[in-house]
Chains A and B, each alone.
Chain A
């Protein structure tokens, strides 16, 4: 089945090129069928045991164990097996036990993953449509309608949805029996809610996503920006510049209207969002509290889920870089470095938010990519998410550099990583450094991806500004 990984890797490339509507549905359905076929042979693939696919936090096998513990009236967190949310346990837990006659064991859970993936793709598509509309509208407002005549604007929402559906990382995650598809679904849901300015939905997605995997908490900034400013667009300065010029000569009503509409940060949806966040948080905590009342209460839940993530307790190998570091570091310095690594994420939040405040969705992509780099338990499911978000900006990133190099890097690392793992664990001829090297290479490629995409995006904005300036003069 090495073949499937390689094949699907390249499928993304082919599918990104599919663009017309009938093609979209054809490929989307094909991807679902492909997943269903793969689900049927879980034993042969044995993906659930791969460290790249399921982490201690997302593994469904651990969830099944936790559910079994609760069935025998013990705390699901006993024995340090399960570290997820109690809500997931009560929703997905019964599915892990139920068995349809004559079917593979975890068919139901895998079906949930497939459905989650499909809904995510549809939400990405809807979000993408919104973003593309906003992009085109803004260009027209800036008097750059001519741009559409010389160049083709690709339907980036279809591309992004297909990238999400056909990305081998997503497929492997979906088939690999873990909860990452569900977590990704809630992250995308909150972005969708924010981009359509439905505050309750955005709040719901954000609260649940943060509750499930903690790191989406930082998405609150892009979500607020989305609710306040509307979808991604060129910097507002440009519009003002254009408006001044237009205002000097003859005022075009439509432009001015558009301007007044988008000029100020609208506080109403943001306020609503906070109210709903409050409501949903209370509700979630209440539900968790009911679940945990016999097992040590909410404090136990926090220490076993968030505490487990933040203190990097489990040092079993994964594709991240923290496990190796904390296995090597002296116990004495452990707390210090824990703080350093977690602050690392927080330090980047503010500068990026300032620089990219006009592009909240892109900001969300950057945040997710950085999280997947610095997470203690990353999996390929995280990259599946941010690669799909990246594909939403296919038009803006048309002139991104190093795309071929990055592609080769991702393919190479994802093939080399299982080989190195095998060399270390099964053959015994390699050692931990072999595997860690691929983890480092992976982190490096992620860094290059983030740096290049951000600079391509800024260059694109610069280009638009130049065009506007040329238009005015």
Chain B
């Protein structure tokens, strides 16, 4: 679009595409309003457009074999669970008590065992994390730390396999105080393990990682995976494995870190206490990994299919609860419902109707899916696997029978065990990695999804006005300026060499300074956290003050030292150029973000696009003194106020959970959580959203 803007003065007959471009640019206001409205409408329409999931990879064949998990396995698992529950943590003074118990049981079943001792590692800010592999930043420090975590890892070598591939089961449990739910999840994994040591069909090795979650589930799994993929050769890690000799029996186990080939898939199993009054047990699925990455849709499909059809569980994905009883959503749902029935009455084949409840549920799920992906923080230990390109999912079985499981424990173990068995059987059939189905999708329910081709449309519609308006502003300012130039030069006989087409450099300089400042703001919290350790509120205040200070310094240092010639006389019209360059920068930022983390870009576009498009110097509007200009001023001020990041954060928070116990320092905590998880959203916020906000303020305050 921008190419059109700079095109030569209208020739008698330009090509149709040029004419189309010129037409769009000249009507950019109407077009951009239409595009933005269409973008928001299309976003609301997504639950209607969601398709049913289907299993794309033929080799998976879920549910084709009848489950082999017998009552024998289950009763053994039950005994194991009882042992874990009754394990006395007080009397056992050694640090490796319960791990030893698990290891003992695995060895008895005929599997290989290996302990993995790790130090809890604080998440560190690494702004380049996205561009490098996951093995960056392995820092082994602080060996004096007293509390090690010890993972117990069991292996079954596949009788039919070549040891090149593996399936991973993860059961996080707290080794200091194991709850009933954790014990039951260990029990499920144990029952599977006891079955799989006997079967002949296994073509991939099976790894059972009993992750010690006393320092957090994520940290334990992350430490093990890091060790699995990046062995340390420098000897610094050696000391960690000394304890592989069993402390009680003195029996020497493998002193090496055991491995089993590339991972085909990983399942995180959890059991929690269900509080709902539902008839059936509920299976909650969590899939979001860091930066909005999702596992292959086929994995979710298989789990969903087996849980619903095989084990009669109710499968759920997370919803945004506050949306369920929003009045506006209900009326919108009724509208769509009426439209759907109307369409069907016209032509029975137009079958896009959706019931009211379904639409509301779909929207709430979609909103939660978008929100979780946009945060860029993984929703569970499955998130680590995605960093190593392994598809992983957390299956949380929530049962109300947990409280009195002693009466009917076998049922839960059998149900969970058979589900996991079925999934392993399917994954075992895979010839290649998961690749058939989607990686980029949003879920609207466990069996409905919106694929990338559909959800890109609202975003594309929202962003489309940006290059157009940038081009139109650019053309506007160029034309106006060349008009004045012509008048000036027509008097003298020699036309001067004017750096007409380079005038944007001036505006680009301002935009660059502000974006550079954005980079400084991004890095400030990192240094702040290194230097001082104080309350969130104080940190937040220091951050804001320092940011404002650097902006001033940069403006003075860089802004004054360099200046373009022949720019002074056109000061009045500079703001259009400035806005044009701002919009171009915003567009670039949004497009790049849409590739990195689509959800962030979508939510970001909802805020950034209207703000950037509306911006106009307040003085011009103040001079005009018409109703239109008054409305524009009001809109500008409201938008600028709303989309200042802290304000936006508190509004979001108010909408989601209420502002009753919100504190000012919460924003700092939220930001800190984003950057410790290396979320690209943080970088987006500081390097795209904030600079664009500042530039919009600059445009509003432009002296005319």
Residues of A within 8 A of B (CB): 1-3, 6-7, 9-11, 13-19, 23, 44-46, 144, 146-147, 150-154, 395, 398-405, 407-408, 411-412, 415-416, 418-420, 422-423, 426-429, 463, 467, 470
Q: A46–B515 Cα gap in the complex (Å)?
A: 23
Which of A16, A422, A429 has the most chain B CB within a 10 Å cutoff?
A429
Question: For chain B residues 462-517, which have a beta carbon within 8 Å of chain A?
Answer: 474, 489, 492-502, 504-506, 508-509, 511-513, 515-516
Task: Let me know if B566 and A46 touch, CB within 8 A.
Answer: no
Shortest Cβ distance from residue A70 to the other chain B in the assembled complex, whole angstroms: 27
B399 vs chain A, min Cβ distance (A): 34
Given A23-B562, A398-B502: 10 more A-B contacts, CB < 8 Å: A2-B127, A9-B512, A18-B561, A146-B493, A401-B501, A404-B584, A408-B588, A415-B588, A426-B389, A428-B439
Choice from A10, A405, A422 contacting B508 with Cβ under 8 Å: A10
Query: Which residues of the partner chain B approach A1 to less than 8 Å between Cβ atoms?
Result: 127-128
- Structural contact, B500 and A418, CB atoms closer than 8 A: no
* Given A13-B508, A405-B6, A411-B588, CB of A2 within 8 Å of CB of B501: no
- A-side contacts of B564, CB under 8 Å: 17
Instruction: Contact check, A403 vs B558: say whether CB atoms are below 8 A apart.
Output: no
Contacts of A151 in B (CB 8 A): 496-498
Q: Is A467's CB under 8 angstroms from B505's CB?
A: no
Inter-subunit contact A402/B515 (CB<8 Å):
no
Q: How far is the CA of A230 from the CA of B581 in the complex (A)?
A: 40
Q: Are A3 and B519 in contact (CB under 8 A)?
A: yes
Report yes or no: B512 in contact with A419, Cβ–Cβ below 8 A.
no
Asked if A6 and B519 sit within 8 Å, CB to CB, the answer is: yes
Q: Taking A151-B496, A398-B497, A401-B6 as contacts, is the C-beta distance between A407 and B592 under 8 angstroms?
A: no
Inter-chain contacts of B562 with A (CB < 8 A): 14-15, 17-18, 23
Determine, out of B84-92, B130-138, B532-540, the stretch whose residues face the partner at the interface. Answer: B130-138
Do B522 and A46 touch across chains, with their CB atoms under 8 A apart? no
Is chain B's interface secondary structure helix, strand, loop, or mixed overall?
helix
Q: How far is B505's CA from A153's CA once the two chains are assembled, in angstroms?
A: 17
Residues from chain B with a CB closer than 8 A to the CB of A150 are 489, 492, 494-496
The residues of A that contact B3 with a CB separation of less than 8 Å are 402, 405
* Contact across chains for B509 and A7 when beta carbons are under 8 A apart: no
In the assembled complex, 30 residue pairs joining A and B whose CB atoms fall closer than 8 Å, in A order, are A1-B127, A2-B683, A3-B127, A3-B687, A10-B509, A10-B516, A14-B513, A17-B506, A17-B509, A18-B561, A23-B561, A45-B128, A46-B128, A150-B494, A150-B495, A151-B497, A152-B497, A398-B499, A398-B501, A398-B502, A400-B501, A401-B6, A403-B501, A404-B504, A404-B581, A408-B2, A412-B591, A416-B591, A418-B131, A422-B131
Q: Is B214 an interface position by the 8 A CB rule?
A: no
Distance (whole angstroms) from the CB of B109 to the closest CB of chain A: 34
Count B-side interface residues using an 8 Å CB cutoff: 62
Would you call B595 and A423 a contact (CB within 8 A)? Answer: yes
Q: Do residues B565 and A152 form an inter-chain contact, with CB atoms below 8 A? A: yes
Given the complex, which residues of B lie within 8 Å of A13, measured CB to CB? Answer: 505, 508-509, 512
Would you call B389 and A399 a contact (CB within 8 A)? no
Interface residues in B559-597 by Cβ distance below 8 A to A read: 561-566, 581, 584, 588, 591-592, 595-596
Q: Chain A residues near B588 (CB, 8 Å)? A: 408, 411-412, 415
Complexed CA–CA distance, A18 and B134 (Å): 41
Question: Chain A contacts of B637 at CB under 8 A?
Answer: none
Contact A147 B512 (CB under 8 A): no
Assembled-state Cα–Cα distance A404/B584 (Å):
10
Contact partner, B505, options A16, A147, A399, A423, Cβ 8 Å? A16
Q: Tell me whether A2 and B595 are in contact in the complex, defined as CB-CB below 8 angstroms, given that A7-B516, A13-B508 are known contacts.
A: no
Q: Can you list, as one digit per residue, whether each of B615-659 has a CB less than 8 Å from chain A (1) or not (0)? A: 000000000000000000000000000000000000000000000
Ordered nearest first, which 3 A-B pairs have the shortest CB separation? Answer: A10-B512, A151-B496, A3-B519
Contact B501 A399 (CB under 8 A): yes
Are A419 and B128 in contact (CB-based, < 8 A)?
A: no
* Residue B674 lies at the interface, judged by CB distance under 8 Å to chain A: no
